[in-house]
Structure 1
């Protein structure tokens, strides 16, 4: 579904150039959930913006469904750290905003909005305004807004990082359930090792800037996953420890992708 081929990104400013991403290559399969982790400033968000078509690579290409990405696509949706809801619009109207932007018939998308509201537990809040919702509920609305257009790809840039720990875990479990139901290809940037393990089919570990794929770690843990007491707790702990070691180590040599089990 997504092919990242030799992508690099260098930002030029008055004080000089900053190389954010260097020679990143990745294949992300149809319906795969890939999480991207790495230290602050390693280019995680930059990589996401290039996939979204919001930023042109300095070198290399990004393709979605076999087409090179040059501008934003209607079949690629993005969810940011802040919900960025329009404060004067109701929950339902915020969810239907992309339908109006693209000039689609609102009536045709109402059944999907109903389904998404039900799926995320927001049915009883459809007429509420954003300021009447908790932070976690606002992010649920943002998620529904991204899903209303039935995207092939959903890009998520630390969407739960501003929330408290319990709400983060609750939404991560919810997102996992939605992904299992809809099968959308998801690329999810996070600083949280727990989120990465809970959500991902694979985790891409980026090196310090300039960001390179240091390791691709497969997560062969059956779904659904939780961090409570369950039969796979040892596997969760093992993979989490491996990712923690990779992030802590101080290896700055160019890294080639490796699969880990």
Structure 2
């Protein structure tokens, strides 16, 4: 579904050239949930913007559904770290914003909006304004807006990072449920190892800048997953420990 071949990204700034990503080769299968983890500045968000067509790679190629990515696509949706809801628009109007921008037929998408709001537990809040909602509820609205056009690919850039720990886990469980009901390929950027393990089919670990693909860790744990006591808690802990070890700096004695 998504393929990156020998992708590198170099930025030219006032302080010189910054190598953000180097020689990334990665394939994401249709309907797969992949999380990207790595230290700050390793190029996770840069990779996501390139897949979205918001940024062109310095070298290498990116394809979605076999087509080269040269600009934003209608079948690829992007969910940012902040909800970015328009404060003067109601919940329903914010969800329908992409429909207006893309000039899509309103009636079927209105039904779709109500279905999505029901899916995330916001039935009855359609006429509320963003300031009347909690942070977690605002992100649920943002998620509905990202899904309104039935995207084939959903790109999520640390969408839960500004929320408290309990709300983050609650939304992670909610996203698992939505993903099981909605056929969508997802790439999810996070700094949280626990979040990565809860959500992913595979976790892509990037090295420190320049970001290189260090390892891809499969997460073969039945869904739904939680961080609490359950039949698969030992496996969740095991995968989390492996990711922690991969992300830790190398000891000084191991540096050539």
| TM-score, scaled to structure 1 | 0.95
1:11 match: 11
> Partners in 1 of 2:82 and 2:168 — Cα distance?
13
TM-superposed deviation, 1:60: 0.4
**Mapping for residues 102-141 of structure 1, pairs under 5 Å:** 102-141=102-141
TM-superposed deviation, 1:105: 1.7
> Partners in 2 of 1:185 and 1:134 — Cα distance?
28
> Partners in 1 of 2:148 and 2:251 — Cα distance?
42
Please, which runs of 5 or more residues in structure 1 have no aligned partner?
A: 254-261
2:184 match: 184
1:52 match: 52
> Partners in 2 of 1:211 and 1:218 — Cα distance?
20
1:148 match: 148
1:63 match: 63
Deviations 1:40-67 (A, max 9, x none): 0000000000000000000001100000
Secondary structure of 1:215's counterpart equals strand
> Partners in 1 of 2:13 and 2:206 — Cα distance?
24
> Partners in 2 of 1:62 and 1:179 — Cα distance?
24
> Partners in 2 of 1:131 and 1:251 — Cα distance?
47
TM-superposed deviation, 1:250: 2.0
1:213 match: 213
> Partners in 1 of 2:56 and 2:42 — Cα distance?
17
Deviations 1:114-168 (A, max 9, x none): 1101000011111000000000000000000000000000000000000000000
Secondary structure of 2:41's counterpart equals coil
> Partners in 1 of 2:250 and 2:208 — Cα distance?
9
TM-superposed deviation, 1:108: 2.1
2:91 match: 91
Secondary structure of 1:150's counterpart equals coil
Secondary structure of 2:124's counterpart equals helix
1:20 match: 20
> Partners in 1 of 2:251 and 2:154 — Cα distance?
31
> Partners in 1 of 2:13 and 2:238 — Cα distance?
42
Deviations 1:72-103 (A, max 9, x none): 00000000110000000000000000000001
2:160 match: 160
TM-superposed deviation, 1:183: 2.2
Please, which runs of 5 or more residues in structure 2 have no aligned partner?
A: none
TM-superposed deviation, 1:227: 1.0
TM-superposed deviation, 1:69: 0.3
> Partners in 1 of 2:134 and 2:86 — Cα distance?
15
> Partners in 1 of 2:90 and 2:28 — Cα distance?
35
